[in-house]
Amino acid sequence: MSDLSTAQALFAKAVHAHQGGNLEAALRLYEEALHHAPDRPSIVSNLATALFQLERFEAARELCLDVLARQPEDAALWVRLGNAQSRLQQPEQALRSYDRALAIDAGHVEALTNAAHLLESLGRAEDALARLDLALAAAPDHVEAHNNRGNVLADLDRFDEAIADYRRAQNLAPQDSLSRWNEALCRLYTGDFAAGWALYHCGWASGERGQRLRLALPQWEGQPGIAALLVWGEQGVGDQILFSTLLEDLSLRTPRIVVALDERLLPLYRRSFPALQFISLRDAPAFRDASHQIAIGDLGRHLRPDAASFKPRQGGFLRADPARVAALRSKLGGTDLRLCGLSWSSSNPRLGRFKSLGEADLSALAALRDVRWIDLQYGDTREQRRWLRKRWGLELAHADDIDNFSDLDGFAALVSACDQVVSVSNTTVHVAGALGIPVQVLLPRAAGRIWYWHHGRNDSHWYASCRLWRQQTPGDWRPVIEAVAATLHAAFNRTEPA
User: DSSP secondary-structure letter at 224?
Assistant: S
- How far is Cα 162 from Cα 239, in angstroms, rounded to an integer? 25
Give the percent of the chain with pLDDT over 70: 97
| The pLDDT value given to residue 34 | 81
Task: With beta carbons less than 8 A apart as the criterion, state whether 442 and 469 touch.
Answer: yes
Q: What is the mean pLDDT of residues 303-314?
A: 92
Task: With beta carbons less than 8 A apart as the criterion, state whether 261 and 269 touch.
Answer: yes
- How far is Cα 254 from Cα 248, in angstroms, rounded to an integer? 10
Kindly report the number of other CB atoms within 10 A of residue 498's CB atom. 11
| Residue 200: partners with Cβ closer than 8 Å, 6 or more residues away | 184, 188, 297, 298, 300, 301
Q: 134 to each of 103, 170, 356, how far by Cα in Å?
A: 14, 20, 32
- How far is Cα 488 from Cα 481, in angstroms, rounded to an integer? 11
Q: What is the mean pLDDT of residues 256-264?
A: 96
| The pLDDT value given to residue 205 | 92
3-state helix, strand, coil in the chain (%, to 5): 55, 10, 35
| The pLDDT value given to residue 33 | 81
Residue 416: CA count within 13 A, CB half-sphere: 23
| The pLDDT value given to residue 351 | 59
| The pLDDT value given to residue 299 | 96
Give the neighbor-by-neighbor strand order of the sheet with 257-261: 277-280, 257-261, 229-232, 292-295
- Does residue 353 carry a pLDDT above 80? no
Give the neighbor-by-neighbor strand order of the sheet with 396-397: 396-397, 371-375, 338-343, 420-424, 439-443, 466-470
- How far is Cα 216 from Cα 443, in angstroms, rounded to an integer? 40
Specify which residues 293 forms β-bridges with: 219, 230
- How far is Cα 54 from Cα 161, in angstroms, rounded to an integer? 36
| The pLDDT value given to residue 356 | 79
| The pLDDT value given to residue 496 | 55
Specify which residues 372 forms β-bridges with: 339
- How far is Cα 94 from Cα 78, in angstroms, rounded to an integer? 9
| The pLDDT value given to residue 126 | 94
User: Tens of pLDDT along 173-217?
Assistant: 999 999 999 999 999 999 999 999 999 999 999 999 988 898 989
Q: Where are the beta strands (DSSP E) in 218-321?
A: 229-232, 257-261, 277-280, 292-295
- Does residue 487 carry a pLDDT above 90? yes
- How far is Cα 70 from Cα 102, in angstroms, rounded to an integer? 19
CATH topology of domain 3-205: 1.25.40
| The pLDDT value given to residue 254 | 87
Query: Could you tell me the residue ranges of all domains in the chain?
Result: 3-205, 229-309, 322-494
| The pLDDT value given to residue 2 | 60
User: Tens of pLDDT along 16-35?
Assistant: 888 888 888 888 888 888 88
| The pLDDT value given to residue 358 | 77
Most confident of 7-21, 58-72, 420-434, 467-481: 420-434
| Residue 87: partners with Cβ closer than 8 Å, 6 or more residues away | 52, 55, 57
| The pLDDT value given to residue 355 | 59
- How far is Cα 121 from Cα 117, in angstroms, rounded to an integer? 6
> In angstroms, how far is the first alpha carbon of the chain from the final one?
84
| Residue 74: partners with Cβ closer than 8 Å, 6 or more residues away | 41, 44, 67, 68, 104
Q: Residue 219's closest CA among 280, 295, 278?
A: 295
Q: Decide: helix, strand or coil at residue 261.
A: strand
| The pLDDT value given to residue 171 | 96
Specify which residues 219 forms β-bridges with: 293
Angle between helices 23-36 and 3-19 (to 10 degrees): 170
Residue-wise DSSP of 312-357: PPTT-S----HHHHHHHHHHTTTTTSEEEEEE-----TTTHHHHS-
- Does residue 350 carry a pLDDT above 80? no
- Does residue 104 carry a pLDDT above 80? yes
Of the pLDDT bands very low, low, confident and very high (cuts 50, 70, 90), residue 263 is: very high
Write down the pTM of the prediction. 0.89
Q: Decide: helix, strand or coil at residue 138.
A: helix
- Does residue 170 carry a pLDDT above 90? yes
For residue 215, which phi and psi values (nearest 5 degrees)?
A: -115, 145
Mean pLDDT in the chain?
91
- How far is Cα 402 from Cα 413, in angstroms, rounded to an integer? 10
| Residue 433: partners with Cβ closer than 8 Å, 6 or more residues away | 241, 316, 439, 460, 462, 463, 464, 465, 466
Task: With beta carbons less than 8 A apart as the criterion, state whether 189 and 155 touch.
Answer: no
Q: Where are the beta strands (DSSP E) in 172-244?
A: 229-232
| The pLDDT value given to residue 36 | 81
CB-neighbour burial class of residue 451 (10 A; exposed 0-12, middle 13-18, buried 19+): middle
Task: With beta carbons less than 8 A apart as the criterion, state whether 442 and 458 touch.
Answer: no
User: Tens of pLDDT along 32-81?
Assistant: 888 887 777 778 888 888 888 888 889 889 888 888 888 889 899 999 99
| The pLDDT value given to residue 192 | 97
| The pLDDT value given to residue 348 | 56
Task: With beta carbons less than 8 A apart as the criterion, state whether 437 and 415 touch.
Answer: yes
Give the percent of the chain with pLDDT over 90: 66
- Does residue 93 carry a pLDDT above 60? yes
Residue with the larger pLDDT of the pair 313 and 319: 319
| The pLDDT value given to residue 354 | 64
| Residue 223: partners with Cβ closer than 8 Å, 6 or more residues away | none
- Does residue 352 carry a pLDDT above 60? no
The CATH number of 322-494 is 3.40.50.2000
Q: Decide: helix, strand or coil at residue 70.
A: coil
